[in-house]
């Protein structure tokens, strides 16, 4: 039988994978950070699209500020303001 041959035994040992890391707290933390990063990137893109479509000029400095921001909630607030902002400065002004 193939299952008892030394090669089959060796193959099973080589293919055995410890998946416990993927269920660990550190793994969850890494995934959460990745999700937050993804949300921030998506909101930054959305913010820039809204400003572009509304014809609001976005200087390089403001573009960099938006794309470097890693806080999804801050980007959400800026995005909400971008809908009615007359200028990019209006996006950043706290009410």
- pTM of the predicted protein model: 0.70
Q: Domain residues for 21?
A: 2-92
Q: Is the pLDDT of residue 2 over 90?
A: no
> Is the per-residue pLDDT at 43 higher than 60?
yes
Average pLDDT over residues 13-38: 80
**19, pLDDT greater than 80:** no
DSSP string computed for 52-95: HHTT----HHHHHHHHH---HHHHHHHHHHHTT-SSHHHHH---
- What is the pLDDT at residue 3? 61
Q: ∠ CA 38-35-19 to the nearest 5 degrees?
A: 135
Per cent of the chain over pLDDT 90 is: 58
Whether the Cβ atoms of residue 56 and residue 87 lie closer than 8 Å to each other = yes
pLDDT, mean of residues 75-81: 97
Q: Name the phi and psi angles at 40, rounded to 5.
A: -65, -45
Domain count, the chain: 1
Residue 1 has pLDDT above 70, yes or no: no
């Amino acid at each position: 039988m193939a299952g008892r041959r030394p090669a089959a035994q060796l193959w099973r040992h080589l293919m055995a994978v410890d998946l416990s890391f993927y269920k660990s707290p550190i793994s969850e933390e890494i995934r959460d950070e990745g999700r937050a990063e993804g949300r921030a990137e998506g909101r930054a893109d959305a913010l820039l699209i809204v400003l572009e479509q509304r014809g609001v000029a976005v200087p390089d400095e403001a573009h960099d500020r938006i794309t470097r921001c890693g806080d999804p909630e801050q980007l959400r607030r800026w995005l909400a303001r971008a809908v009615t902002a007359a200028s990019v400065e209006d996006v950043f002004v706290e009410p």
